[in-house]
Amino acid sequence: MRNKFQAQDVKQMLAHFNVPAVTIDDTKVLGSEEAKMLLYVMEAVYAISAASVNKALVNPLTGITINDLLEMDDAVLLERFRLYQQSWQHDGIYVMLNHFITDHKIRSRMLSPEIIQGERKLSNIIQLIELFHKMEKRQQYAPAELLNWLKRSMENEENLGDEFEQRIESDGDAVQIITIHKCKGLEYNIVIAPFLDLNVKMDVDFFSFREPDEEEYYFTNSGLLTDQQKKWYKTETEQENRRLFYVAMTRAKYVCYVGNNTFHLNNNSSLRSFLNVLDKDPAIAESFGIVRSIASSIPPDYRYTSETQQFPVEFAKADNFSLLQPNWKKMSYSFLNPEHAIQRNPQQMLSVDPYDRFTFHELKKGAHTGNLLHYIFERIDFTDPSGWRSVVELAAKRLSVKVEAEKIDNILRMLDEVIHLPLQPEEHKSFTLSEVIREERINELEFGFGVAPFSTSAIESLSHFGHPLAARSFSELEGIMNGKIDLFFEQNGRPLS
C-alpha cells in the first residue's frame, strides 16, 4: 500500500469477505475508536452521572443499544459505576477496566463472528489498558491526571513514541497489509500490489524539491514556483515513485500480482510507463515471466471459510454454587456515605478583599479544585515556602488548569494561611504544620481493618444532634474497611493525622 488509508480500505474490504488480515504500520493506538470508547468509560467512572454512564454504555464495545438502556435500572447502573470508581481509586485503572470488560462480556463479544475486525479491536483494548496502567504507575497519576494525560495524548497522537503504535493482532493464516515504505528489505511468498498507479500530483498547495546544482532542499508554496522549479519537482517525484514501484515489485519470493487501474488519469503513472515498455518489447515480459490478464470479479455473497478446524470452547459449570459470605465487600467510608443534595449558600455580596473574593467566590468547588489542592499539599515542603510556586505551576500544568499569575499568588497565600494556622490537639500544646518536616510525614497512608457482619442502621443509631450520622441502607455487610489518610505525621513524638 502507498499509505495507511489505502491499507484501512483494503482491510475493511477483506473483512467484508471474512478474509483474516492484519495491518503492519505506524498507526497509533490512541487514535483508534477503542481509545475513544475507553475514554468515555473512564470519564463516566470518574464523574458519575446518568448522562456520562449512558454515553459509556451505548457503544460498539458493549453492544448495548438505547432500547436496552431504557429497560435497565438506573439505580443499579449508578451503583455499578460507583463500585468501578472505588476500584479505580483503590486498585488502579488496570483492575477497574478489566472489571468493566468482564461485566459486559466484551472479550467474547469481540471474538464472535458477527463483529467485523473483532480481533483488531480486542487487541487495541488490551494494549490501551496496559498503556494506561503503565502511565499511571510510571507517573504516579491520580485518576484526574490520567484522564487529562489521555485527552492531551489523543489530541497530539503523532508526537507519541513507538510504544503507542498499534500491536499486530493474531497473524496466523492472515493477509499481512503493509505500506511500501515499511516493507523495504522484507520478503513475502506472494505479494499483491493493488495501488501502484503512482502519479505526480501537480494540484497541491505545497511543494518540496531539491535544487540540482546547489543540492539544497526547498519547501515552498506552489504559487511561488518557477516553471524550472516545477520541472525539478516533477522529475524528482517521478524518480521517487519509480523507486517505490521497484520496492513493491521485488518483495515477492514466488509471485507478485499487480493491479492496473485503467482510469484515464493514470495514463502517465509509473505503472503505465512500465507497461508501455513491455508493450513495445514482449520479449522482456516473457523473460521475466510477466503475464497480463483480466482479474475475475468476486461474487457479492462470497465469504471465506478457513480450512482449519475450529473447536468450540466449553467451560465447566458449577452446580448449586453459592458464596459462603455473600455480603463480604471491600468497603470504604465513601462507599457507606449516602447521596445528598447539593447545599447552595445564599447569595452574598462579593468581598472587597481580592483574596477573600478568590477563595470564597472565584475558586470553583468540586473534584477538579480538590485534586489541584490535594496535589499541591502532597508535594510542598511545609517548612520551606521558596519552592511552593513551582509546585503550584506544575500542578496546574499536569491537571490542565489555566491559572493566571494573580490566582497563583492567591493560592500561595492560601497555602501560607493553612500551613501557619495554629492547631491544638486535646490537652496538648498548639502547633502549626510549618513545624512538620518532610521526614516526619506520610502522604496517603493506606489502612485496612476487618469488619464483622453489621447492619448500616446500627450506624444511624449512633447519630445525635451534635454529630449527625447517615449511611447507605444495607441489611448486612461484612469484609474489610479500606481507606487512605491524607496526611499522617509525627509532632513532638505523637502520631497525628
Q: What is the pLDDT of residues 16-26, one digit of tens each?
A: 787 877 777 66
Q: How far apart are CA 396 and CA 416, in angstroms?
A: 18
Question: Residue 293 — very low, low, confident or very high, per pLDDT cuts 50/70/90?
Answer: confident
Instruction: Select the highest-mean-pLDDT range: 41-55, 143-157, 181-195, 457-471.
Output: 41-55
For residues 429 and 308, the model is more confident at 429
pLDDT confidence of residue 402:
67
Torsion angle of C-alpha atoms 38, 40, 46, 47, degrees rounded to 10? -170
Look at residue 219 and tell me whether its pLDDT is greater than 90.
no
In CATH terms, is domain 22-164 a member of 1.10.486.10? yes
2 pLDDT higher than 70: yes
3-state secondary structure of 207: strand
Residue 195: pLDDT above 90?
no
Answer whether 249's CB lies under 8 Å from 256's CB: yes
**pTM higher than 0.75:** no
34/263: higher pLDDT: 34
If one compares 134 and 371, the residue with the highest pLDDT of the two is: 134
Task: Using the Cα atoms of residue 48, residue 50, residue 52 and residue 54 in order, give the sign of their dihedral.
Answer: positive
Hey, which of 210-214, 242-246, 398-402, 405-409 has the most confident mean pLDDT?
A: 242-246
Q: Which of 144-158, 234-248, 254-268, 329-343 has the lowest mean pLDDT?
A: 329-343
pLDDT band at 159 (very low <50, low <70, confident <90, very high): very low
DSSP of 331-381, one letter per residue?
A: E-HHHHSPP-PPPPPPP-PPPSSHHHHIIIIIS--SHHHHHHHHHHHHHS-
Range from 56-60, 213-217, 282-286, 411-415 carrying the lowest mean pLDDT: 213-217
pLDDT at 161: 53
Asked if 278 contacts 290 with a C-beta cutoff of 8 angstroms, the reply is: yes
pLDDT (0 to 100) of residue 41: 93
Contacts of 154 (CB under 8 A, 6+ apart): 30, 31, 35, 36, 39
